[in-house]
Structure 1
């Protein structure tokens, strides 16, 4: 295990360019943590991972592992191991030979190689497959062999570059679980890249959420979901994605309460009173802001009775409906914006019908229209 520290990391692909592919990133990763770099395509997550591995040069800044500055060290001198999207197995070698290949290059003795390969194979449940060739394995098994080839070297840091993207949905879930269990078993520092936010949420101790080469938030999955720093994080984390609706902050002076109006396409106005953080919203009185409401916070019935006093009614007309088994997704218009609600299918009465939903008002977030930073 090892600490991994990145200080003021910058990457430019052309000298004198004003555009940074990686823009002044600071990260301190604790020994044994499972960190996931997540963000849309082109955000810089794979570039950052390759810089840690030494496969991409650093324009400025420092990369340290276990307190040692390795910014300009050769990849072979960093004691890191990288698992790529492509399995890159030797087709003529058995599973055992593929896993052992690096050890043989290092001229380890035969008994040590056998001991290390068997130990890794047991952890990854490959022990009964050691005599097979890659062509005899499933996609998930091949990826486990690629992981085993990295594990057997006992590196200080494991790096994973979208290792599950070539697998089908069922295999991704299965292999994701295996990677999580592997981390528990070997307790190593791991840095994992993915564009799939569900994959990121389920694997990570902490998330590094990237956009346009900048860290938008470095937080636990729960904190990123509950307390996003800005509109980008709020929209990227969570599935289905958060709804964003332009609203005007208003005040009921008689009751000394702030509220917003959510108007449906049939002229019905729903006043939703704000629950907390008045000191942050006061300066926006009379101004348009962006309200963020997650689909699961607009339902036809919440099971938790303890939040009943935090729920407010919202009446709307259903424009479209998707049945996905345990849930139903309602689409409707609020303030000239199409929004989505996750409901129980038993509450659906048909398209173009009026439906009354309950809004968990305490969970509504607000963002500045210009900066997109969170107000509260």
Structure 2
């Protein structure tokens, strides 16, 4: 809710217009690469959920045709999860492994970057061949840029919004307090700045750009849907079902690499956080062990295989009302191919280096 409010606040001050106005090309394949790579690198410094919310907001301003936009949103889900897997602040699971001293900050970047990039590039290349031609006209804006919103307003809120979102994982790592407190702190700073800046605007503009107006535009049904998914998965974790599943995988499958790959695929159905938490409790390998690195990649990217498999996917599903079966047919095959290709690249990289 805090992340969505910050995004709405930046949008109210036309901060995203700075980015969308610079994306001039209307060729579908070119925009795919811009969106995919931008999401991938943003997700490595933001978390994948926040990045997805920001990118979906941008795509709504760039693409009018719903079918085209949904394909782009599907790519955003894949790119956000792939980008979050190779840094310790990009995904909840890598952050957990880092806090528990299972992976190192630099080591995870050097070992997982190439595999994560391939995980994105394979679906990206596939979509490039599928999506030919040009996009139609941009969506007509509900309102023109308010005359009282000046360029410095746009830059101020875009920069403050991004800094506020980026600071959340840093705040968590530094203070060890829950992430929502960092998000509330960032929102409070933007709220104060918004109140100060509002004195430079007329009454009409002030009423449409304030935090209360932004809060009214937040899609609460999406947040409740997201909460419901997390509660359902949390109940499975509380009953010990997920931990039992992890133990069963360990006993049934031949080696730890296959276990990590299987946990990634299982995380497409249930949340990756309790699965990784169970894995941390089950195994006692040293820091930067090959298993921990592969688990960080698999748990981070495996959720892309289904729309309900990751926080990014659930957020996109709520924001754009993506149909589960549509994603399964149109995006999931590309996501699974990218996921498997990334695993092979990581294992090949190990063989070459060792």
The TM-score, its normalising length taken from structure 2, stands at: 0.26
Q: Which has the higher helix share?
A: 2
Q: Which has the higher strand share?
A: 1
Indicate the structure whose relative CO is greater, using CA pairs within 8 Å and at least 6 residues apart: 2
> Which entry has the higher C-alpha Rg, 1 or 2?
1
